């Protein structure tokens, strides 16, 4: 029952929710306007990496502090 | 040719697994190694004498105080059990840490220069070769009080330790709990006297168990060597590209020049101009340097063998320096409009500004580079830990070489997972370099933005 591990798990939930939301909106956008696929793809990868950054910061801090 | 492809896959993967396993020096076949469990240390006088003078200077005063009182019963710790089960977590932490000598395979180390300074005892320049390492990077001799423990240099606290070359035993360790955190103290025995060892000084304020100790380590470590290597490589590459622009002026770009031109125009057209706008040329050198530096280091960290396999960008000191440089450039090139909007924004009641908005903005001023640092560090470190864990699956399933069927199952489970994660890590390497550069460009843009009221 390490609190650090529970904290890391919560961070993973946050990341999963955030990126899931991006993914769903991206797919909706592409469905509405297939020509914008290229632009949307770039924005999705960028935003996913930023959200992963926040989640990983929390994960690393929970294990090393 | 298609027949060779799975063979090549297996070959590359075996090299990878071999390199990871080589980090874990002891195997079950080495039963001839002798156990020495020194729970009843014969001489406790030396540690006791060493404690009082240094106890105030050393960060872990609680540990020193407790050791003082319980000095008679402290003992010399215990050595690594060569038949201990395979510990994947320890292997992962060993992979992401810095070391004074680069471990290649087994007992083969690529030795690096060691530059040490102890206040009151002067400088010491040596090579890790002089420590005559054997198993696990433990030196068999001490040089002027310095010992090599698991590839890292440590120093004997006791000033009465003889100078010059002194043969020492295998280091032993003991885990104590200080302020609720585990602290491992290392000991070494010379001439049957037990000496306590000091790790190098780290300026983390005790956050990760560090603090000011009796010596400073300025050596060329694994990370420094890899950084120098990447800098040399980048310099060589871009010098060739720059020369190509003068010798092949007006012609279509070719080869390396072509590839680098793609990246450079990408940074200029997609990162610098949209975010900085007018006057972007000033910042282009820094943006390009930081992009290729981080990209090169990330990619070198992904290679499983020497000269790769060094977790440089996953070291928080290095990402901190990059973030500090971005912070300095942002604030030194901030114009009046920037400082006005940060500290005393127009059109807001003064009370609100003093109480809430300005403190929040100042906090944001420091927090933005701070997140830059942590984002890169966390992404790369987490990736390395995951890869080492997946490769360790082989050894966990096969009980570190005992069971062949288990090893086969481990391979079947580990190979697809590891390949998948390494593909993602390749993407992450590029992406994190791009994100660091893009966010730096965004901050520069915000600092040099003209008023548009």
| Whole-number Å distance between alpha carbons of B209 and B176 | 12
Of A49, A52, A60, the CB nearest to B381: A60
Min distance B437 CA to chain A CA atoms (Å): 12
On whether any CB of chain A is under 8 Å from the CB of B319, the answer is no
Mean pLDDT in residue range B169-184: 76
Which pLDDT score is estimated for B55? Answer: 37
Which of B378, B432, B438 to mutate: most A Cβ within 10 Å? Answer: B378
Across chain A, what does the average pLDDT equal?
Answer: 89
Note down the domain range covering A44. 3-64
Order of strands across the sheet that contains B216-217: B122-127, B113-118, B216-217
Backbone CA torsion sign across B26, B28, B30, B34: positive
Instruction: Return the CATH number at A49.
Output: 1.20.20.10
pLDDT over threshold 60, residue B65? no
DSSP β-bridge partners for residue B125: B115
- Is B378–A60 a contact, with Cβ atoms under 8 angstroms apart? yes
Which pLDDT score is estimated for B1? Answer: 53
Q: Which residue has the higher pLDDT, B449 or B43?
A: B449
- Is B382–A65 a contact, with Cβ atoms under 8 angstroms apart? no
Min distance A10 CA to chain B CA atoms (Å): 16
- Closest residue by Cα to residue B101 from B215, B200, B222: B222
- ipTM, two decimals: 0.84
CA angle (B111 as vertex; B296, B113 as ends), nearest 5: 85
The three-state secondary structure class of B114 is strand
- Is B378–A50 a contact, with Cβ atoms under 8 angstroms apart? no
- B200-210 pLDDT tens trace: 888 776 556 66
Stretch 195-224 of chain B: residues touching chain A, C-beta under 8 Å: 207-208
Report CA-CA distances (Å) from B194 to A19, B33, B143, B148: 55, 21, 16, 16
Q: Which residue has the higher pLDDT, A43 or B71?
A: A43
On whether any CB of chain A is under 8 Å from the CB of B378, the answer is yes
- Closest residue by Cα to residue B303 from B217, B385, B384: B384
- Is A56–B432 a contact, with Cβ atoms under 8 angstroms apart? no
pLDDT category at B28 given cuts 50, 70, 90 is very low
Which pLDDT score is estimated for B61? Answer: 40
- Is B379–A64 a contact, with Cβ atoms under 8 angstroms apart? no
Which pLDDT score is estimated for B207? Answer: 59
Which of B182, B266, B319, B375 to mutate: most A Cβ within 10 Å? Answer: B375
Mean pLDDT in residue range A34-50: 90
- Is B375–A57 a contact, with Cβ atoms under 8 angstroms apart? yes
Polymer length of chain A: 65
On whether any CB of chain A is under 8 Å from the CB of B325, the answer is no
Least confident interval from B43-57, B102-116, B218-232, B348-362: B43-57
Full-model pTM: 0.80
| B368: CB partners within 8 A, 6+ apart | B439, B443
Residues of A in contact with B381 (CB under 8 A): 60
Min distance A31 CA to chain B CA atoms (Å): 26
Which pLDDT score is estimated for B27? Answer: 36
Q: What is the 8-class DSSP label of residue B268?
A: I
- B260-306 pLDDT tens trace: 999 999 999 999 999 998 889 999 999 999 999 999 999 999 998 87
Min distance B314 CA to chain A CA atoms (Å): 11
pLDDT category at B369 given cuts 50, 70, 90 is very high
Report CA-CA distances (Å) from A47 to B24, B275, B313: 38, 17, 21
Which pLDDT score is estimated for B12? Answer: 67
Which pLDDT score is estimated for A22? Answer: 95
Least confident interval from B170-184, B266-280, B370-384: B170-184
Min distance A20 CA to chain B CA atoms (Å): 17
| Whole-number Å distance between alpha carbons of B82 and B316 | 32
Q: What is the 8-class DSSP label of residue B271?
A: I
Q: Which residue has the higher pLDDT, B253 or B401?
A: B253
Which of B92, B206, B368, B379 to mutate: most A Cβ within 10 Å? Answer: B379
Least confident interval from B15-29, B71-85, B91-105, B382-396: B15-29
pLDDT category at B3 given cuts 50, 70, 90 is low
| Whole-number Å distance between alpha carbons of A57 and B91 | 22
- B393-450 pLDDT tens trace: 888 888 766 778 888 888 888 899 999 999 999 999 999 999 999 999 999 999 998 8
Residues of B in contact with A49 (CB under 8 A): 379, 428, 431-432, 435
The proportion of chain B whose per-residue pLDDT surpasses 90, expressed as a percent, equals: 29
Backbone CA torsion sign across B352, B355, B358, B364: negative
Least confident interval from A5-9, B104-108, B336-340, B380-384: B104-108
Which pLDDT score is estimated for B150? Answer: 84
Which pLDDT score is estimated for B425? Answer: 92
- B90-145 pLDDT tens trace: 888 888 888 888 888 777 888 889 999 888 888 888 888 888 887 777 888 888 88
Which pLDDT score is estimated for B439? Answer: 93
| Whole-number Å distance between alpha carbons of B296 and B312 | 10
Q: Phi and psi of B108, rounded to 5°?
A: -90, 120
Which pLDDT score is estimated for B438? Answer: 93
Which pLDDT score is estimated for B223? Answer: 92
The proportion of chain B whose per-residue pLDDT surpasses 70, expressed as a percent, equals: 82
- B313-346 pLDDT tens trace: 998 899 999 999 999 999 999 989 999 888 888 8
On whether any CB of chain A is under 8 Å from the CB of B428, the answer is yes
pLDDT over threshold 50, residue B67? no
Alpha helices in B280-403 (DSSP H): 284-302, 316-332, 336-343, 350-352, 358-397
Q: How many CB pairs under 8 A join A and B?
A: 39
Which pLDDT score is estimated for B172? Answer: 81
pLDDT over threshold 70, residue B58? no
Backbone CA torsion sign across B115, B116, B117, B120: negative
Q: What's the total number of domains in chain A?
A: 1
Min distance B435 CA to chain A CA atoms (Å): 8
Q: At what angle do helices B284-302 and B404-447 cross, to 10 degrees?
A: 170
Of B208, B382, B435, the CB nearest to A56: B382
Q: Specify the residue for token string 């190979």.
A: B415
């Amino acid at each position: 029952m390490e609190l650090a591990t529970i904290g890391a798990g919560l961070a993973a939930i946050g990341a999963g929710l955030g990126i899931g939301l991006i993914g769903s909106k991206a797919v909706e956008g592409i469905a509405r306007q297939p020509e914008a696929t290229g632009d949307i793809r770039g924005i999705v990868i960028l935003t996913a990496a930023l959200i992963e950054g926040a989640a990983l910061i929390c994960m690393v801090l929970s294990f090393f502090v | 040719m298609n027949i060779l492809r799975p063979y090549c896959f297996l070959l590359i993967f075996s090299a990878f697994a071999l390199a990871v396993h080589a980090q874990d020096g002891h195997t079950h076949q080495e039963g001839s190694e002798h156990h020495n469990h020194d729970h009843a240390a014969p001489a406790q006088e030396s540690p006791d004498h060493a404690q009082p003078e240094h106890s105030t200077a050393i960060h872990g005063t609680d540990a020193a105080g407790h050791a003082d009182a319980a000095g008679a019963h402290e003992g010399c710790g215990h050595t690594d059990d060569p038949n201990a089960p395979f510990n994947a977590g320890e292997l992962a932490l060993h992979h992401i840490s810095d070391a004074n000598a680069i471990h290649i395979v087994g007992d083969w180390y690529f030795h690096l220069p060691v530059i040490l300074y102890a206040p009151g005892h002067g400088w010491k320049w040596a090579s890790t070769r002089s420590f005559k390492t054997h198993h696990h990077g433990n030196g068999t001799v001490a040089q002027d009080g310095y010992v090599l423990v698991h590839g890292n240099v440590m120093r004997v606290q006791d000033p009465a330790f003889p100078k010059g070359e002194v043969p020492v035993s295998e280091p032993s360790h003991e885990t104590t709990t200080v302020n609720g955190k585990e602290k491992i103290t290392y000991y070494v025995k010379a001439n049957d006297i037990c000496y306590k060892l000091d790790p190098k000084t780290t300026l983390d304020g005790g956050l990760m168990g560090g603090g000011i100790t009796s010596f400073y380590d300025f050596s060329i470590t694994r990370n420094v060597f890899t950084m120098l290597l990447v800098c040399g490589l980048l310099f060589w590459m871009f010098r060739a590209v720059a020369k190509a622009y003068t010798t092949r002026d007006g012609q279509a770009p070719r080869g390396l020049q072509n590839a680098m031109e793609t990246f450079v125009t990408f940074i200029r057209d997609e990162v610098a101009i949209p975010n900085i706008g007018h006057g972007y040329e000033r910042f282009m050198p820094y943006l390009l340097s930081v992009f290729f530096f981080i990209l090169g280091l990330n990619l070198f960290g992904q290679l499983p063998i020497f000269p790769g396999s060094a977790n440089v960008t996953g070291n928080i000191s290095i990402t901190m320096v990059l973030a500090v440089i971005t912070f300095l450039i942002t604030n030194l090139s901030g114009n009046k409009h920037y400082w006005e909007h940060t500290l005393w924004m127009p059109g807001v009641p003064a009370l609100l500004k003093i109480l809430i908005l300005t403190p929040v903005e100042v906090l944001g001023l420091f927090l933005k580079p701070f997140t830059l640092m942590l984002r890169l560090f966390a992404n790369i470190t987490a990736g390395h830990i995951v890869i080492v864990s997946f490769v360790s699956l082989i050894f966990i399933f096969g009980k570190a070489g005992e069971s062949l069927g288990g090893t086969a199952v481990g391979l079947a489970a580990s190979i697809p997972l590891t390949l998948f994660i390494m593909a993602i890590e390749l993407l992450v390497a590029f992406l994190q370099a791009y994100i660091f550069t893009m966010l730096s460009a965004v901050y520069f843009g915000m600092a040099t933005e003209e008023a548009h009221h």
